[in-house]
Amino acid sequence: MKVKIREASLLAVSLILVGAPASANAASYPPSRDPNLAAPPSPPPPPTACTATGTWFETGGYTGDGSWTTTDKKKCKVPGTWTDAFGYTWKIKKSGHQLTGSVNYNGIPPCEYQVWPVTGTTGKKKTFTVTATNPDSSDPACVQQFGYDLQIQ
């Protein structure tokens, strides 16, 4: 008799575990996603194709080591889209030795304007200088200018 009760209990537990409907919480997740698992890994960032190193500068005389990277494997030149060590995105165009473009502050809160105009020049041996100017010259929370003196490696 004990055997039959044990078999019946095991059968009931098996039916509950296997045949039970999904809980209300599980229904809110995609069917292929278990809510108890960690988030899927992010794809790796694109490989860096080029690096430019040098110094950064800003209004007030502050300076420091600076670097830019780009993932454009076809162009290891100044024009193009670059990302600096602070995470700002620089979009640079070239005409002769003159550079123009913009830099996006990417949400840095104290600055009223997030996209600043950029001017600069190219030099010899893959060197260039760019300066971004704050569109609001009266903005007390943000510097008026910052830029880089760099050499492409």
Residue 25, domain member (yes or no): no
CA distance 29 to 37: 12
Of 35 and 142, more confident: 142
CA distance 78 to 68: 10
Residue 13, domain member (yes or no): no
Tens-digit pLDDT profile for residues 105-143: 777 667 788 899 999 999 988 999 999 999 988 888 788
Residue 56, domain member (yes or no): yes
Predicted pLDDT of residue 36: 54
Residue 9, domain member (yes or no): no
**Could you tell me which residues come within 8 angstroms of residue 116 by beta carbon, excluding any fewer than 6 positions away?**
102, 103, 105, 132, 133, 134, 135
Residue 34, domain member (yes or no): no
Residue 130, domain member (yes or no): yes
CATH of the domain at 98: 2.40.128
Give how many domains the chain has, as a whole number: 1
Predicted pLDDT of residue 41: 56
pLDDT at 94 > cutoff 90: yes
Q: How many CA atoms lie within 13 A of 129 on its CB side?
A: 8
Predicted pLDDT of residue 15: 36
pTM to 2 decimal places: 0.65
Residue 60, domain member (yes or no): yes
Q: What is the mean pLDDT of residues 85-113?
A: 87
**Could you tell me which residues come within 8 angstroms of residue 65 by beta carbon, excluding any fewer than 6 positions away?**
53, 54, 55, 56
AA letter at 148: Y
Rg of the chain over Cα atoms, rounded to whole angstroms, equals 28
**Could you tell me which residues come within 8 angstroms of residue 97 by beta carbon, excluding any fewer than 6 positions away?**
121, 122, 123
Cβ(60)–Cβ(90) under 8 Å? no
Q: What is the mean pLDDT of residues 43-48?
A: 54
Mean pLDDT estimate for the chain: 74
Instruction: Residue 135: give the domain boundaries.
Output: 50-152
